[in-house]
Chain A
């Protein structure tokens, strides 16, 4: 049955509870077919493996019958019950192999490939881009995917994050509002006539509407029923101009004459109610004094065209005067709130006004909902902050109190410990290194002291030969460490190598990392697919291992030591993987020993 086809007696079921139709399962590399024993039965099945998305099987040893469950890419599942586990094993391996054969099955671009789906064109483009941008990745890809060590899917499966992260970056960021205040864009006054020109763009209109809901409301009410678009804005600009001229009296007079104009000059009711709502939302436990130090208005040149200090408020005309503080706060709030209107909608005033009202409606509902929650939360917080300590039970947090002891305790205990161990140790004559008793030892030491006293020092303390030897050893030691390890600890050992070796080394590191990542993630080996993959990886690893060995031998002797130090961890990592592989293989062989060796 050398990879050609497999035929097994099975029962075909559409669900687990189905009693099943007895018949034969025919497996070839490309497709599977079920032929019922009863030729009249309707449950005949032919399916190509490329449509199989997933396969499951019952584990040996569990009490269930040996079953293989294939899931097609349409979501239907096909269950085959085998007569015994060895049949299942054979088919399992076969299916695994058939499913993992990517390149050989001719497949149209839109069908599934091996175990995972074919990537979308978008993703392919992304991969290409990544490869183009990252030459190291490209090298790895070339080395492993082209040589068939890893499949493309496997390669990218380990880098899902890279793909995701990149696509996340591409999501368009919404552009916020400009922080420049409208009042900064001054009206153009041409010197000769008394004409004042205001330039209004849809953007400015949006800002006016957003910052002054009353104007927005008025616009919706009046245009185009009562007046034209142009009239409305002329009026508005006139009101603005009055503001700029800071002529409260004139403003009051004009407002008395023209009620529409008055609308623009009066304080904004909608705004006021909203402000009240916001004030209600302010956390009562907030320490307002805490940020008093943040005041930076004293800094010169703060970029405001209006100077608040010069605006004197006259109580009489108060309603017609907006303070700078109001404007600033309102503007800040609008900017922070952001905009729900897209750039495309910024065509003319009418659309802007309508779009704004739409978005506001949505906001309002959300706000009301949030308000309910916030209120409750607020109450909770207040009750927590207003805690009256006397009335509450003790606050039992699961904390272990820290008890740092008096260090003397520690040292005392240490001494006691040392004493104890010395006492516990068997006292006797079995001294290993020290063959002499204390008395003898002290005696001999005293002897040597008196020996010096009597004899004096030897005339040459050190013979010239020995001194020379020591000097040369020391200097050699110093020079070698100096030149090889570098004076600067930050200076990398890598820099000492020729460029070629350095590059090779780095590349090998990357390759080894990649291989090991795939290798270890393949364990435990559950499918024949993984088995084949591990085999491929193992071959590649032994190849790299020998390459490293070659590299080690190719360099000059003075660099070899350093190179060995760098290569050793790589080789150790590879060795560990190989050992694991061998051990696993042994185990598998031992397990499959009693089984007929017919498959694979």
Chain B
């Protein structure tokens, strides 16, 4: 960033934070091979950089156990390191991605059981937002940031609060979250994220044409977007996860004080400690003491 003060930023310069789902458990079950997915995404990243000389692309890997930055076009060396078979972007990114995968594997001690494991969307969203905050603070001239989630893993209801917090902070800083979901079912998290932040949610029907989807829908900068008709979701899954069992529910109980969500009736709110229901008379002393006791 420090090397570009002389550049003239206009409204069509983009900073695209790409969150790449690298959950190995998803990709081994996906109908779209990871290599093909990666190839199409790499081509898309390259075309982003070609669209505008000042465009910046940052790629964050959303792993199963961790998240990390694996590519930043503003700091990447511009020459190809080993062989000239691949452009610098590709080889750098692939190198970093490979290293990340090894690290991520080492972090994981347990095998995922039962249903398909989710990736750490909340973590990578937070990292993307942190990066964007740094860009905002870098000076009055900065590219227009947006986040693009390339996600395939199912939602992790246990991340609900963290993801929602990330979504609302993105909304507050006017950062749209675009999402392209390549998994089997729609993702409620990403639908809500795009809906709330004014981004675009797309679930491609033809996965072999992913590149075409990416270029058609997500390549344009935010300024040009206002002149375009982009796909609009037919409906958004607004379901929330309960705070007690981390289950996705469509009807539940809400604490009238702190708005925590529960799937069944509780005597008191586990978040703020408000006492619900008829236990008004005898709650004064007894519940006070109980509240001090550690939970979980």
Output the nearest chain B residue to A415 by Cβ-Cβ distance. Answer: B158
B198 contacts A by Cβ under 8 Å: no
Contact A448 B38 (CB under 8 A): yes
Which one of B124-132, B187-195, B287-295 contacts A?
A: B287-295
Contact A427 B205 (CB under 8 A): no
23 intermolecular pairs with C-beta atoms under 8 Å apart: A398-B281, A400-B287, A413-B295, A418-B158, A418-B246, A421-B158, A426-B113, A433-B29, A433-B116, A434-B28, A438-B105, A439-B105, A441-B25, A441-B28, A442-B102, A442-B104, A442-B105, A444-B27, A448-B35, A451-B35, A463-B208, A469-B206, A470-B212
Which of A435-449 touch B at CB < 8 Å?
435-442, 444-446, 448-449
User: From DSSP, what is the main secondary structure of chain A's interface residues?
Assistant: helix
Additional A-B contact list (12), CB under 8 Å, known A403-B273, A442-B104, A462-B210 = A402-B257, A402-B272, A405-B272, A411-B162, A413-B270, A413-B295, A414-B161, A421-B158, A432-B116, A434-B112, A438-B108, A453-B91
Give the docked Cα–Cα distance between A32 and B25 (Å): 83
A478 contacts B by Cβ under 8 Å: yes
The range of chain A's interface size is 35 or more
Which one of B11-19, B52-60, B93-101, B172-180 contacts A?
A: B93-101
Contact A474 B113 (CB under 8 A): no
Which of A387-414 touch B at CB < 8 Å?
398, 400-405, 409-411, 413-414
Please indicate the chain B residues that have their CB under 8 angstroms from the CB of A469 in the complex.
206, 209
* Chain A 437-477: CB-based contact to B (< 8 A → 1; otherwise 0): 11111101110111111001110011100110111011001
Give the docked Cα–Cα distance between A478 and B283 (Å): 57
Contact flag A400-B24 (CB < 8 Å), given A433-B116, A438-B111 = no
Contact B98 A434 (CB under 8 A): no
Contact A452 B280 (CB under 8 A): no
Minimal beta-carbon separation of B296 from chain A (angstroms)? 5
Please indicate the chain A residues that have their CB under 8 angstroms from the CB of B220 in the complex.
none
Please indicate the chain B residues that have their CB under 8 angstroms from the CB of A457 in the complex.
39, 42-43, 86, 90
Contact B213 A434 (CB under 8 A): no
Give the docked Cα–Cα distance between A432 and B114 (Å): 5
* Chain B 257-285: CB-based contact to A (< 8 A → 1; otherwise 0): 11000000000001111110000110110
Residues of A within 8 A of B (CB): 398, 400-405, 409-411, 413-414, 416-418, 420-422, 425-428, 430-442, 444-446, 448-453, 456-458, 461-463, 466-467, 469-471, 473-474, 477-479, 481-482, 485
Give the docked Cα–Cα distance between A471 and B271 (Å): 48
Output the nearest chain A residue to B160 by Cβ-Cβ distance. Answer: A414
Give the docked Cα–Cα distance between A485 and B98 (Å): 45
Please indicate the chain A residues that have their CB under 8 angstroms from the CB of B232 in the complex.
478, 481-482, 485
Output the nearest chain B residue to A428 by Cβ-Cβ distance. Answer: B113
Give the docked Cα–Cα distance between A410 and B272 (Å): 10
Contact A442 B24 (CB under 8 A): yes
Give the docked Cα–Cα distance between A440 and B117 (Å): 15
Q: Which of B28, B274, B295 contacts A400 (CB 8 A)?
A: B274
Contact B39 A417 (CB under 8 A): no
Please indicate the chain A residues that have their CB under 8 angstroms from the CB of B110 in the complex.
422, 427
Please indicate the chain B residues that have their CB under 8 angstroms from the CB of A403 in the complex.
272-273, 291
Output the nearest chain B residue to A447 by Cβ-Cβ distance. Answer: B35
Give the docked Cα–Cα distance between A467 and B231 (Å): 17
Minimal beta-carbon separation of B110 from chain A (angstroms)? 7
Please indicate the chain A residues that have their CB under 8 angstroms from the CB of B22 in the complex.
445
Contact flag A474-B231 (CB < 8 Å), given A405-B273, A448-B33 = yes
Contact B296 A413 (CB under 8 A): yes
Please indicate the chain B residues that have their CB under 8 angstroms from the CB of A463 in the complex.
208
Minimal beta-carbon separation of B30 from chain A (angstroms)? 11
Contact flag A456-B85 (CB < 8 Å), given A402-B257, A422-B110, A478-B230 = yes
Please indicate the chain B residues that have their CB under 8 angstroms from the CB of A416 in the complex.
296
Please indicate the chain B residues that have their CB under 8 angstroms from the CB of A471 in the complex.
212, 216
Contact A417 B246 (CB under 8 A): yes
Contact A398 B213 (CB under 8 A): no
